[in-house]
Structure 1
Amino acid sequence: MKKYFYTSLVFGIFGFSSFQANAQPKQPMPVAASADKYELELVAEGIQIPWGMAWLNEQDLLVTDRAGKLRMIRNGKLLKQAIKGVPKVHAEGQGGLLDIELDPNFKDNGWIYFSYSGYEGDEEGYNTSIMRAKLKDMQLTDTQLLFDGAPNTTTTKHYGSRIEFDKDGYLYFSIGDRGERDVHPQSLEYDAGKIHRINSDGSIPKSNPFVNQQNARNSIYSYGHRNPQGMAMHPKTGQIWSHEHGPRGGDEINIIKSGANYGWPEITHGVNYIGTKITDETSREGMEQPDWVWVPSIAPSGMEFVNSEKYPQWQGHALVGAMKFAHLVLVKLDGNKVTSHSKLFEGAGRVRSISTHPNGDLYLGIDGMGVYRVVSKS
């Protein structure tokens, strides 16, 4: 697909340098035309880093706090008691209790899925783990470890990790490169730097692309990823979309394809944080090009397709949190093509997660501030 870019001067630690990576010059990200039609309404404070959100029903919202607690917002109020039974997490750096998602048949089976930086595994350190459990009387029960990322490492960054089901009931989740870009992302022997696909019970789908390949981790669905912290299923096509953090520049949106290599770190539109080159290549045969690139980086987190009539100007498009610039990004789509972007709620804070209430209302989890609802201005 054609690439689109948001370009400007990239400022480094020791000065500045111009970096465009074959981009077409554009103006800074515009304010969305619909920005003045909506505002944020505080729902609940007290959750420091609301990494993931999932609605159990119209009254109860589960929210993960990266520090390691699972909280419940009931009828718009944060319950004082945290949910018990959460596994031990390594809550340091970018690690902790991460994303949360309901089983597509939750009403019948009660399964809740969550990702976290866990201590499971034989090696010293920690990695991304996937667990499912049921909830009864503010207690997790029937906990089942479905996936344990390997190998463990003592680095505390780039865990990913978002969770998403597709229309066929497969569970996708992301693991970042764990800070070892020259080892993990391009090797199928490691779980890091990948998007994985498993069945809801943790077993491996027979149709996974590397299931019969020797020395390959058979849960891998795509590879060559840096640190994906957004994932959502397109409501019409059923395709899994993801976005990931680039280095300094080069944040990407990708439509995830079976067996595809997304290039990191062999190709990138970003540079090292000190301004030095990672590679001269932005494309290579056999490697996917992103469907959208942000240069400079916006530090994206959370992703939601808008499928609600309550937001007619946004319906059919996507929302992404821009933690670096403390606003929400409206990503305009024409089918499967990203056509433009614009900003909403300037200065709102580090938007970490986005969720849709069963009635269509949009909710934002904002670091250090809490959970907010997007409401129409009266």
Structure 2
Amino acid sequence: MVVNKRLILILLFILNTAKSDELSWKGNDFTLYARQMPLAEVLHLLSENYDTAITISPLITATFSGKIPPGPPVDILNNLAAQYDLLTWFDGSMLYVYPASLLKHQVITFNILSTGRFIHYLRSQNILSSPGCEVKEITGTKAVEVSGVPSCLTRISQLASVLDNALIKRKDSAVSVSIYTLKYATAMDTQYQYRDQSVVVPGVVSVLREMSKTSVPTSSTNNGSPATQALPMFAADPRQNAVIVRDYAANMAGYRKLITELDQRQQMIEISVKIIDVNAGDINQLGIDWGTAVSLGGKKIAFNTGLNDGGASGFSTVISDTSNFMVRLNALEKSSQAYVLSQPSVV
């Protein structure tokens, strides 16, 4: 039973010790005789003797009575940590001392930074120590679990944020070129003649160029090179009806969404009309019911009749049988009794 107690004490001592290669103690040998001296004061005296900055948790309220003989300062600190159940952590410039009850856990996730690279960086900077400050990778995720004293968690969180954001900024500032193929809209402008006027329907590229004249890019270009100060750039590929965009990678998601919304199937209606010259005496041969009605907007309008019963919605032409009408019209044309003057149409 005595052996088991000694084994537990030795294990606890090993877990709570500070690494000697992390602390550079410089000063004369430290020795102390005290009775009911606050433990925090003992720790301050130890750190001052070796010119080491120290931060002690206000929750350490125990008192020390006894003798500290001369010896290696790390051994003195580790003996006190084991005796009073303390955790120590040295971040390279400051020694932190906390009660073991303040050991905390935290999960930190990354957007771009590799967890392996992050842990390697912490080890290269001698930031990690057991158990005051430990970091382990969570398998299958872009996250790490941090276990340690409060100052360790704060420091690790700050480093993770700074390093990950630096990579995000570097990625977002990279210039990217993307090609977006259109299904319904046209990348280039469409030009056609209407009477004596030339009408130009702007394509998607023209729309994007017009928007970029007054837009503010997501990524700052104030200090960019001449190649990036001209961004964004838009071009059309007529071979595959595609839009080519050159801009910062951070803006590409916005272009993809905007171009998708512009590339929609258009609903078009074509209205065709025949203007016919027919003799008044032959007009009845066309088979037109001049006493019919049309419904517009839910209301019925009658022609050459007193009926107005409200009818169904929709539109009813005055020609009940279009095929028969065309046959009759052709017959009148052949006998020179009717003439089609024009057939205008509009879309």
TM superposition score normalised by structure 1: 0.18
| Structure of higher RCO (CA pairs closer than 8 Å, 6+ residues apart) | 1
Which protein is richer in strand relative to its size? 1
